Amino acid sequence: MDTSPDLFPAGPFSETERAAVYRAIHTRRDVRGQFLPDPIALDVLHRILEAAHHAPSVGLMQPWNFVVVRDAAVKAEVARAFDTANREAAEMFPPRRRALYSSLKLEGIEQAPLNLLVTCDRSRGGKVVLGRTHDRDMDLHSTVCAVQNLWLAARAEGIGVGWVSIFRDGDLRRIFGFPDHVVPVAYLCLGHVAELHSEPELQVRGWARRLPLDDLIFADRWGVPAGAAAST
């Protein structure tokens, strides 16, 4: 079969390759307190960022940027911003949940050798972007795809990643000097880890459990269980 030079076969991966992809997916964890002090090699970091940069993006707008944070003073300022927001967050939960919340370690900002802030430039691609004409937030969705790519690549490299989301937007803007059209999407802590939890840590600690997949699959319309539709 003739193949255009800009195409390649779309068949399945080998069994070994497929198993590796699924292993990365199923053993990915949100790392908070298991970071080792060893620095991440520059070639490894570049491969991880290259994986993020190969994420799908609507209209090929590639709205992401990556702020690599190693400076201890910057990390300390970010950690203080987290502490302020985290105290506010604790008060939002009912008393019966508050004690457990306060016992959870939710960040590794100063422990991780490297922090990474993934942003979305909402002006990237101009005012009209293919595929974004009717949903302005497709740039944000695209940026999150880059985060997922990065996370899976990091898992394959033996690098732990923790997503710290408890911040006031204004604090991150002040610390990093973002212009108005740039949105901070994901503040990540990266570093080597010696071990990972066998299940998500929040499940291990009793905060939540993974929902059964079959309960989340509908057929053709909202609320119609796929199993029930298949049996009629």
- Torsion angle (degrees, nearest 10) of CA 152, 154, 159, 164: -70
Q: What pLDDT is attached to residue 227? A: 79
* First-to-final CA distance of the chain: 42
Residues paired with 184 in a beta bridge: 119
| Backbone angles phi and psi of 22, in degrees to 5 | -65, -30
Alpha-carbon distances, residue 165 vs 85, 106, 220 (angstroms):
10, 9, 34
Average pLDDT over residues 37-45: 97
pLDDT at 232 > cutoff 60: no
Query: How would DSSP label each residue in 43-105?
Result: HHHHHHHHHHHTS--GGG---EEEEEE--HHHHHHHHHHHHHHHHHHHTTS-HHHHHHHHHS-
Give the mean model confidence (pLDDT) for residues 16-24: 98
Q: Write down the pLDDT at residue 6.
A: 85
Q: What pLDDT shows up at residue 33?
A: 85
Q: Is the pLDDT of residue 230 over 60?
A: no
53-66 average pLDDT score: 98
How does the average pLDDT of the chain come out, rounded? Answer: 94
Phi, psi of 158 (to 5 degrees): 80, 20
DSSP state of 179: -
- Tell me the pTM: 0.93
Residues 160, 190 contacting (CB under 8 angstroms) = yes
User: What's the pLDDT score for residue 2?
Assistant: 57
CATH class for domain 30-195? alpha beta
Is the predicted pLDDT of residue 139 greater than 90, yes or no? yes
The pLDDT tens digits of the residues spanning 183-211 come to 999 999 999 998 999 999 999 999 999 99
Residue ranges of domains in the chain: 30-195
Q: Is the pLDDT of residue 229 over 60?
A: no
The token duo for 85 is 């927001």
For the cut 90, the answer to whether the pLDDT of residue 5 exceeds it is no
Residues 6+ apart with CB under 8 A from 130: 58, 59, 60
